[in-house]
Amino acid sequence: MMDCSTAKSKIFPFVDGELTPELCDQLEAHLARCGACRRLVDLEVAFRETYVERLRPDPAPEPVRERVATLLRGLGEGRRAGRGWRRVERLAVCAGAVLLLVVGLGAGIALQSYTGTRTSLAELADAAVEQHQKLVRDLLPPDIKDVSPKVAEEWFKKRLAFNVSLPELKTERLHFLGGRISHLREIEVAASSIASTGTTSHSSSSRRRPTVSSG
Amino acid sequence: MDSRSEFQDLVHKHLNSLYSYALVLARQDAEDLLQESLVRAWEAFHAFDRSQSFKPWVFTIMRNAQIDRQRRRRAHPADAPLGDEKEAEPVVESPLCSIPLAPEDILLRREAVEQVREAIRHLPPLLREIVELRDIEGLSYHEIATILSRPVGTVMSRLYRGRNLLRTYLVEPPQRPDGKEIGVRNDGL
Which chain A residues touch B38 with a CB distance below 8 Å? 68, 71-72, 75
Which chain A residues touch B117 with a CB distance below 8 Å? 55
Contact A170, A179 (CB under 8 A): no
Average pLDDT for A55-75: 89
| pLDDT at position B174 over 50 | yes
Domain B96-171 fold is: Arc Repressor Mutant, subunit A (1.10.10)
Distance, CA of A75 to CA of B65 (rounded, Å): 18
Whether residue A74 is found in the same domain as residue A153 = yes
Task: Tell me what pLDDT residue A162 has.
Answer: 76
Q: Which residue has the higher pLDDT, B112 or B100?
A: B112
B103 interfacial to chain A (CB closer than 8 Å): yes
CB contact under 8 A, A64 and B34: yes
Whether residue A45 is found in the same domain as residue A25 = yes
Q: Among partner residues A18, A51, A134, which is closest to B113 by beta-carbon distance?
A: A51
Q: Among partner residues A76, A126, A183, which is closest to B32 by beta-carbon distance?
A: A183
| pLDDT at position B189 over 50 | no
Read off the pLDDT of residues A153-200 as tens digits, 9 standing for 90 and up: 888 877 777 778 787 776 766 777 777 777 665 566 777 777 665 533
Q: What are phi and psi of A176, to 5 degrees?
A: -80, 120
Q: What are phi and psi of B130, to 5 degrees?
A: -70, -40
Contact B88, B154 (CB under 8 A): yes
Domain B3-72 fold is: Rna Polymerase Sigma Factor; Chain: A (1.10.1740)
Whether residue A163 is found in the same domain as residue A107 = yes
CB contact under 8 A, A46 and B103: yes
Angle, helices B141-148 vs B54-72, to 10°: value is: 30
Whether residue A22 is found in the same domain as residue A100 = no
User: Cα A104 from chain centroid?
Assistant: 19
Chain B CA closest to residue A17: B140
Task: Tell me what pLDDT residue A98 has.
Answer: 38
Domain count, chain A: 2
B187 interfacial to chain A (CB closer than 8 Å): no
Whether residue A74 is found in the same domain as residue A19 = no
ipTM of the complex as predicted: 0.75
Whether residue A83 is found in the same domain as residue A160 = yes
User: Which residue, A36, A54, A72, sits at the end of a domain?
Assistant: A54
Break chain B into its structural domains and give their ranges.
Answer: 3-72, 96-171
Q: What percent of chain A has pLDDT over 90?
A: 20
Whether residue A113 is found in the same domain as residue A178 = yes
Task: Tell me what pLDDT residue B171 has.
Answer: 74
| pLDDT at position B85 over 60 | no
Whether residue A129 is found in the same domain as residue A191 = yes
Structural domain span for residue A197: 62-214
Q: Which amino acid is at A119?
A: T
